[in-house]
Amino acid sequence: MKKIIFKLFLFLAISFFVFLSYLLIFANGKADSYYLRFTTKKQSSLILGSSRAAQGIIPSVFNNSNFYFSKNIYNFSFTVNDSRYGKIYLDAIKKKIDTTQTNGLFILEVNPLSISTGLQNIDDNPDFFRENNNFLHCLKNMSSNPNFEYLYKFMPSPYARMVIYNILSKFEIKSDGWLEISIPMDSATCEFRKKIKFNKYLDYFSSNMFSQNRLNSLDVTIKYLMKYGKVVLVRLPVDTIMLKMEDTYMPTFNEKMIDISKINNVQYLDLTPMSKDVLTTDGNHLWKESAKLVSNVIKYKLEYN
């Protein structure tokens, strides 16, 4: 009986070791576009915002230079659905930030939808914000490697498919949190992706409205981060058609950002005048080479303005 119990224990132990090794190898930046951001240590400097920031602001541009902040900044951006400004995102930031440091750099990407809520939420009630039940709200630990809580509750793909995703994935979360997308950039393919994205955003704009509560949350987020370093707001360039759609949806957006930056005495960089000079993968997200250009522009403006 003892031998049977010992063999069973040994089998379970070996199985667990093999499974853990599998996760450590294949649960990486190609298996899931969020997971690695919850496996790194707490950070003293962060890039925050939507998927525009996740793909469009590259931490290594700041980290691998003589940039006078040189903070090893980390990209903790997600999507316009998951990381609009509000209590949920701020609580996640508080779990990720290293509060022992007070000389960090925080780049907050802003866009009209990041301060919007759904039309069905006519009272602009934060209790009905769309992210209230997502992973950022439910995940207790933002800095555990491996992060079993995320793997168990939120990993969208079956574990067995991780090998396939490691081979075929078109995206990869880098060690600094940047989401690199490697897809064909020929004009026909890009135009096809733009058409899909523009239609999707037309739906967004027709089903959303400005949220004073989200704008207030952005203000609270700025004030919180100012305790730990320099804060800058950035509006990234997009395709000119997307920009016109955004300006039609929220024509006073820039005024709101200028006002909130003045109130808090922080810098606001509106980079949309660069929209004619950059390439996007789908009208909304910067192509990785344009992301390098834009990241260098941000670095330059922070150094010399």
Arithmetic mean of pLDDT, 133-158: 86
Arithmetic mean of pLDDT, 8-28: 55
Q: Give just the sign of the alpha carbon dihedral 297, 235, 47, 53.
A: negative
pLDDT of residue 18 exceeding 60: no
Joined together, the tokens standing for residue 297 give: 């522009």
Q: How far is CA 83 from CA 67, 90, 245, in A?
A: 27, 9, 21
Arithmetic mean of pLDDT, 82-103: 96
Q: Tell the residue number behind the tokens 């704008």, with chain if given.
A: 215
Cβ neighbors of 197 (< 8 A, separation 6 or more) are: 242, 282, 283, 284
Q: What's the confidence (pLDDT) of residue 231?
A: 97
Say which residue, 28 or 36, is predicted with more confidence: 36
Q: Is residue 269 part of a domain?
A: yes
User: Cα(144)–Cα(150) distance, rounded to whole angstroms?
Assistant: 10
pLDDT of residue 107 exceeding 70: yes
Q: What's the confidence (pLDDT) of residue 163?
A: 56
Rg (CA), the chain: 21
Q: Is residue 162 part of a domain?
A: no
Q: For the purposes of burial, counting CB atoms within 10 Å of the CB of 171, is it exposed (0-12), middle (13-18) or buried (19 or more)?
A: middle
User: Cα(121)–Cα(130) distance, rounded to whole angstroms?
Assistant: 10
Determine if residue 229 is left, alpha or beta; phi over 0 gives left, psi from -120 to 50 gives alpha, anything else beta: left
Q: Is residue 11 part of a domain?
A: no
Q: Is residue 108 part of a domain?
A: yes
Q: How confident is the model at residue 21 (pLDDT cuts 50, 70, 90)?
A: low
Percent pLDDT > 70 in the chain is: 83
Number of domains the chain is built from: 1
Q: Is residue 177 part of a domain?
A: yes
Q: Tell the residue number behind the tokens 């950059």, with chain if given.
A: 278
Arithmetic mean of pLDDT, 106-128: 97
Joined together, the tokens standing for residue 56 give: 């469009």
pLDDT of residue 258 exceeding 60: yes
pLDDT in tens, 83-93: 999 999 999 99
Q: Give just the sign of the alpha carbon dihedral 49, 55, 57, 59.
A: positive
Q: Whole-model pTM?
A: 0.90
Arithmetic mean of pLDDT, 6-28: 56
Distance separating the N- and C-terminal Cα atoms of the chain? 76
pLDDT of residue 38 exceeding 60: yes
pLDDT in tens, 223-249: 999 999 999 999 999 999 999 999 999
Q: How confident is the model at residue 167 (pLDDT cuts 50, 70, 90)?
A: low
Tell me, what CATH number does 288's domain have?
3.40.50.1110
Three-point CA angle 288, 95, 61, nearest 5°: 25
Domain span at residue 122?
Answer: 41-142+170-304
pLDDT of residue 264 exceeding 80: yes
Min mean pLDDT across 3-7, 233-237, 266-270 is at 3-7
CB 41 within 8 A of CB 146: no
Q: Is residue 46 part of a domain?
A: yes
Mean pLDDT computed over every residue of the chain: 89
Q: How confident is the model at residue 171 (pLDDT cuts 50, 70, 90)?
A: confident
Q: Is residue 47 part of a domain?
A: yes
Task: Write phi, then psi, for 286 (nearest 5 degrees).
Answer: -70, 135
Q: For the purposes of burial, counting CB atoms within 10 Å of the CB of 174, is it exposed (0-12), middle (13-18) or buried (19 or more)?
A: middle
Q: Is residue 120 part of a domain?
A: yes
